């Protein structure tokens, strides 16, 4: 399986997935920590991939997504964005229903 295929599979199998540096319990950068904090405040489960443990994904995903930085939040196969976009969406109230609706759909499936 190529790295590209692996990423596509992760995104397909996880309706809410955060590509980040470190883990939710131990983020390795401030931006990843902020992203985890926002998702934790929304209170729905999410998958994550520690790109520091997966240099192949760290190299390939920015090319695939046309998005150069991490973290990257993907919801239902679509790139939402990085930390700044997550903060903006959270503050405007856009992110909460997106995450909650996706989690609710997943529970029903």
Cα 95 to the chain's mean position, in Å? 12
Annotated binding residue 58: yes
Is 84 part of any known ligand binding site?
yes
**Residue whose tokens read 């390939």:** 60
Tell me: is residue 46 an annotated ligand-binding position. Answer: no
DSSP string of 12-51, one letter each residue: HH-SEEEEESB-SSSBSSHHHHHHHHHHHHHT---EEEET
Annotated binding site for [2Fe-2S] cluster: 29
Point out the annotated binding site: 21, 29, 58, 70, 83-84
What residues are designated binding site for glutathione?
A: 21, 58, 70, 83-84
């Amino acid at each position: 399986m190529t790295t590209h295929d692996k990423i596509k599979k992760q995104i397909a199998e996880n309706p809410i997935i955060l590509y980040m540096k470190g883990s939710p319990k131990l983020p390795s950068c401030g931006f990843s920590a902020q992203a985890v904090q926002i998702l934790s405040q929304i209170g729905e489960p999410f998958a994550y991939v520690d790109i520091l443990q997966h240099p192949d994904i760290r190299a390939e995903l920015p090319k695939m997504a046309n998005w150069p930085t991490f973290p990257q939040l993907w919801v239902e196969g679509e790139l939402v964005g990085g930390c700044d976009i997550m903060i903006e969406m959270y503050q405007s109230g856009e992110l909460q229903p997106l995450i909650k609706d996706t989690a609710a759909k997943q529970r029903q499936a």
